[in-house]
Amino acid sequence: DGGITQSPKYLFRKEGQNVTLSCEQNLNHDAMYWYRQDPGQGLRLIYYSQIVNDFQKGDIAEGYSVSREKKESFPLTVTSAQKNPTAFYLCASRDRQGNSPLHFGNGTRLTVT
Amino acid sequence: AQSVAQPEDQVNVAEGNPLTVKCTYSVSGNPYLFWYVQYPNRGLQFLLKYITGDNLVKGSYGFEAEFNKSQTSFHLKKPSALVSDSALYFCAVRDISSGSARQLTFGSGTQLTVLP
């Protein structure tokens, strides 16, 4: 089955450590996205990529970094510079058509203590 | 700029009754509009979208939504609610004319609870 796989489902880290969240898709989608979800705030865009080796900042990119070396993969690194990293992180992808919907993974819940 | 508002944080409805989850939007051009549903600790699932044409859009699981351009609304509806419809619902908008690949702007979500 085609889809988006995020791993791990739960992640615990100590403050001051960088952590990388994995996102892999086999939908052959060009565009991939990272969102952060906090209670009562909906989804906020962190980074997005329309094509391999290219990516752009979203609304809340500070403290995060990404890479897009392969079409299928779009890992997100939460750095120690991110002030409030504890959140639910969602990866999504879509194909080129402007009206195509996003397909989401099942998320990674990151807890930093 | 584009924005979307979901005025109700919580909607409660009895099983078998009709349900409505409200959404209003703001764009400078014409909108693409989407509804997604999220179950606990899961990603969002696409329900339906409005692109152009018929103002009444039918989607998955018996849901439908009505596009109203004059009221800039895109309310989600279902004629008869099920307990299994209980979830978090998100409305999202994209301005067609923006030419932006930043994709969608999401509302803050509405928690729907269907009471048995």
Q: Using one digit for the tens of pLDDT, what is the confidence trace for B64-111?
A: 999 999 999 999 999 999 999 999 999 999 888 766 555 689 999 999
Distance CA A95, CA A50 (A): 9
Which value, in Å, is the radius of gyration of the alpha carbons in chain A? Answer: 13
Residue type (1 letter), A34: W
Chain A, nearest residue to B37 by Cα: A104
Distance CA A40, CA A61 (A): 20
Query: Is A20 in CB contact (< 8 Å) with chain B?
Result: no
Average of per-residue pLDDT across B8-12: 97
Q: What is the mean pLDDT of chain B?
A: 93
Per-residue pLDDT, B95:
86
Per-residue pLDDT, B99:
62
Per-residue pLDDT, A53:
95
Chain A, nearest residue to B46 by Cα: A101
Average of per-residue pLDDT across B58-65: 95
Distance CA A50, CA A35 (A): 15
Query: Is A99 in CB contact (< 8 Å) with chain B?
Result: yes
Residue B106 tokens, joined:
């999401």
Q: Chain B residues contacting A, CB < 8 Å? A: 9, 32, 34, 36, 41-46, 49, 51, 90, 96, 101-104, 106-109
Q: What angle do CA B43, B73, A34 make, to 5 degrees?
A: 25
Q: What angle do CA B87, B104, A59 make, to 5 degrees?
A: 105
Position B16 confidence tier, pLDDT thresholds 50, 70, 90? very high
How near does any CA of chain A get to the CA of B51, in Å? Answer: 7
Cβ-defined contact of B103 to A48 (cutoff 8 Å) = yes
Per-residue pLDDT, B103:
67
Write out residues in chain A with pLDDT < 50, as ranges: none
Cβ-defined contact of A45 to B103 (cutoff 8 Å) = yes
Residue A44 tokens, joined:
């906020």
Per-residue pLDDT, A19:
95
